[in-house]
Amino acid sequence: MRSDGVEIIKTTTWSPGPGCHGGCGILVHVKNDKVIKVEGDPDHPWNQGRLCSRCLSMTQYMYHKDRLTRPLKRVGERGEGKFEEISWDEALDLIETRMKQIREDHGPESVIFHQGTGRDIGGWISMLAYAYGSPNWMFGLSGVSCYTPRLMMMSITQGDFAVVDASQWHEKRYDDPEYEIPETVTIWGQNLPATCPDGFFGHWYVDLMKRGTQLLVIDPRCTWIASRAKLWLQLRPGTDAALGLGFIHVMIREDLINTSFVEKWTNAPFLVRVDSTPHTLLRESDIDPTGSDENFIAWNPDTGSAMVWDVDAQLYKDSSTLPSLEGEFDVRLADGSIISAKTVWTLYKENAAGYTPQVVSKITWVPEEKIVEGARMYAQSSPSALHWGLPIDTIPSTIPTSQALNHLWVLTGNLDNPGGNAIARYAYDVVTYPYHSGGAVLSLPPETAEKRIGMHDYGPIRDFRAWAQPDKMLEQIFSKDPYEIKGMWIQTANPLACTGMEPQKWHKAIKKLDFTVCVDLFMTPTAMLCDVILPAASFLEKDSLKAWWVPLNAIKKVTQVGECRSDIEINLELCKRFMKDFPYQNTQELFDRLLSSAGLTYDELCDNTWMMPPEGHPSKPYFRYEKGLLRQDGRPGFRTPSGKIELFSSWLEKWELEPLPYHEEPPYSPVSTPDLFKKYPLILCTGRRMGPYYHSEHRQIPWLREQQKDPVLEIHPDTAQKYGISHGEPVCVENWLGKITVKALVTPVIHPDIVMAEHGWWFPEKEGKEPCLFGVWDVNVNQLIPMSHEGKGGLGAPIKSMLCKVYKPKG
Amino acid sequence: MSEYGMLIDYEYCTGCRTCEVSCKQEYQRPAGRVGGVEVTEYTHTLPNGKLFITNIPHFTRACVFCAGRVKKGLDPACVKHCMARILTYGKVEELVKMLPAKRKAMIWTKGSS
The average pLDDT across A129-137 equals 97
Q: What is the pLDDT of residue A634?
A: 97
* DSSP classification of residue B75: P
Residues of chain A with CATH 3.40.50.740: 72-146+428-611
C-alpha distance from B55 to closest chain A C-alpha (Å): 9
* DSSP classification of residue A780: -
d(CA A688, CA A188): 13
d(CA A466, CA A464): 7
CA distances in angstroms from A758 to A83, A687, B15, listed in the order given: 31, 5, 18
Contact A712, A727 (CB under 8 A): no
Kind of pairing between the strands at A754-757 and B4-8: unpaired
- Residue A754: HSE in the Cβ half-sphere, 13 Å Cα cutoff: 24
Contact A566, A14 (CB under 8 A): no
Contact A666, A672 (CB under 8 A): yes
Nearest to A451 by CA among A71, A107, A86: A107
Residues of chain A with CATH 3.40.228.10: 153-258+350-425
Residue A390 backbone zone (phi > 0: left; psi -120 to 50: alpha; other: beta) = alpha
C-alpha distance from A448 to closest chain B C-alpha (Å): 47
CA A396 to chain centre: 14
C-alpha distance from B29 to closest chain A C-alpha (Å): 9
Nearest to B31 among A38, A50, A702 (CB): A702
| CA dihedral for A250, A253, A254, A259, sign (positive or negative) | positive
B81 Cβ under 8 Å from any chain A Cβ: yes
Residue A118: pLDDT above 90? no
3-class DSSP state of A444: coil
3-class DSSP state of A306: strand
d(CA A192, CA A810): 37
Q: What is the pLDDT of residue A659?
A: 98
Is A53 within 8 Å of B16 when comparing Cβ atoms? yes
Q: What is the 3-state secondary structure (H, E, C) of A551-568?
A: CEEEECCCCCCCCCECHH
Contact A625, A416 (CB under 8 A): yes
Q: Which fold has domain A6-62?
A: Phosphorylase Kinase; domain 1 (3.30.200)
Beta bridge partners, B45, equal B51
C-alpha distance from A54 to closest chain B C-alpha (Å): 8
- Residue A224: HSE in the Cβ half-sphere, 13 Å Cα cutoff: 26
CA distances in angstroms from B39 to A711, A769, B34, B49, listed in the order given: 20, 37, 12, 25
The order of strands in the sheet holding A34-40 is: A6-12, A25-31, A34-40
Backbone phi, then psi, for B18, in 5-degree steps?
-60, -35
d(CA A380, CA A250): 12
Q: Which helix (H) or strand (E) holds B55?
A: strand B51-59
Kind of pairing between the strands at A421-424 and A384-388: unpaired
Q: Which of B23, B48, B81 to mutate to test the interface with A (most CBs of A within 10 A)?
A: B81
Nearest to A56 among B21, B30, B43 (CB): B21
Beta bridge partners, B109, equal B5
d(CA A392, CA A238): 8
Q: What is the pLDDT of residue A691?
A: 84
| CA dihedral for A675, A680, A681, A683, sign (positive or negative) | negative
CA B84 to chain centre: 11
Summarize pLDDT for B60-88 with one digit per residue, the tens.
999 999 999 999 999 999 999 999 999 99
Domain A72-146+428-611 indexed as CATH 3.30.930.10: no
pLDDT bin (cut points 50, 70, 90) of residue A3 is confident
Q: Which residues of chain B neighbour A748 with C-beta distances below 8 Å? A: 43, 45, 51
Helices and strands of chain A, counted as H and E runs = 27, 32
Residues of chain A with CATH 2.40.40.20: 674-807
Q: Which residues of chain A neighbour B45 with C-beta distances below 8 Å? A: 748
pLDDT bin (cut points 50, 70, 90) of residue B112 is low
Contact A339, A282 (CB under 8 A): no
Nearest to A284 by CA among A310, A305, A321, A264: A310
Q: How many interchain CB pairs under 8 A, A with B?
A: 95
Summarize pLDDT for B13-61 with one digit per residue, the tens.
999 999 999 999 999 999 999 999 999 999 999 999 999 999 999 999 9
| CA dihedral for A185, A189, A194, A199, sign (positive or negative) | negative
Residue A438: pLDDT above 80? no
Domain A674-807 indexed as CATH 3.40.50.720: no
Residue B1: pLDDT above 70? no
Contact B8, B56 (CB under 8 A): yes
E-strand ranges in A596-700 read: 610-611, 682-686
Q: What is the pLDDT of residue A609?
A: 97
Is A703 within 8 Å of B24 when comparing Cβ atoms? yes
Q: Which of A29, A53, A54 to mutate to test the interface with B (most CBs of B within 10 A)?
A: A53
CB under 8 Å to A657, separation ≥6 — which residues?
A399, A459, A792, A793
Q: Which of A57, A214, A693, A706 to mutate to test the interface with B (most CBs of B within 10 A)?
A: A706
E-strand ranges in A425-464 read: none
CA angle, A309 as apex, A308 and A310 as ends, to 5°?
A: 105
The amino acid sitting at A49 is G
A4 Cβ under 8 Å from any chain B Cβ: no
Is B16 within 8 Å of A691 when comparing Cβ atoms? yes
Q: What value does the mean pLDDT of chain A take? A: 97
Nearest to B83 among A203, A209, A223 (CB): A203
Is A52 within 8 Å of B84 when comparing Cβ atoms? no
Backbone phi, then psi, for A654, in 5-degree steps?
-65, -40
pLDDT bin (cut points 50, 70, 90) of residue A318 is confident
Is B43 within 8 Å of A747 when comparing Cβ atoms? yes
pLDDT bin (cut points 50, 70, 90) of residue A725 is very high
A8 Cβ under 8 Å from any chain B Cβ: no
- % of chain A beyond a pLDDT of 70: 100
pLDDT bin (cut points 50, 70, 90) of residue A439 is confident
Is A747 within 8 Å of B85 when comparing Cβ atoms? no
Residue A112: pLDDT above 90? yes
d(CA A28, CA A35): 7
A193 Cβ under 8 Å from any chain B Cβ: yes
Is A207 within 8 Å of B85 when comparing Cβ atoms? yes
d(CA A598, CA A604): 11
Q: Which fold has domain A153-258+350-425?
A: Dimethylsulfoxide Reductase; domain 2 (3.40.228)
Q: Closest chain A residue to B20 measured between Cα atoms? A: A53
**How many other β-carbons are positioned within 10 Å of the β-carbon of residue A325?**
17
Contact A197, A205 (CB under 8 A): no
B56 Cβ under 8 Å from any chain A Cβ: no
The order of strands in the sheet holding B4-8 is: B87-91, B4-8, B106-109
Backbone phi, then psi, for A80, in 5-degree steps?
-80, -15
The amino acid sitting at A529 is L
d(CA A378, CA A408): 9
Q: The domain that contains B45 carries what CATH number?
A: 3.30.70.20
Summarize pLDDT for A584-628 with one digit per residue, the tens.
999 999 999 999 999 999 999 999 999 999 999 999 999 999 999
The average pLDDT across A81-105 equals 98
The amino acid sitting at A610 is W
The average pLDDT across A571-577 equals 98
Residue A672: pLDDT above 80? yes
Is A224 within 8 Å of B45 when comparing Cβ atoms? no
Summarize pLDDT for A192-232 with one digit per residue, the tens.
888 888 889 999 999 999 999 999 999 999 999 999 999 99
Q: Closest chain A residue to B29 measured between Cα atoms? A: A703
The average pLDDT across A184-189 equals 98
Task: Please tell me the total count of domains within chain B.
Answer: 1
Segments forming the whole domain that contains residue B46: 4-109
Nearest to A297 by CA among A317, A274, A320, A327: A317
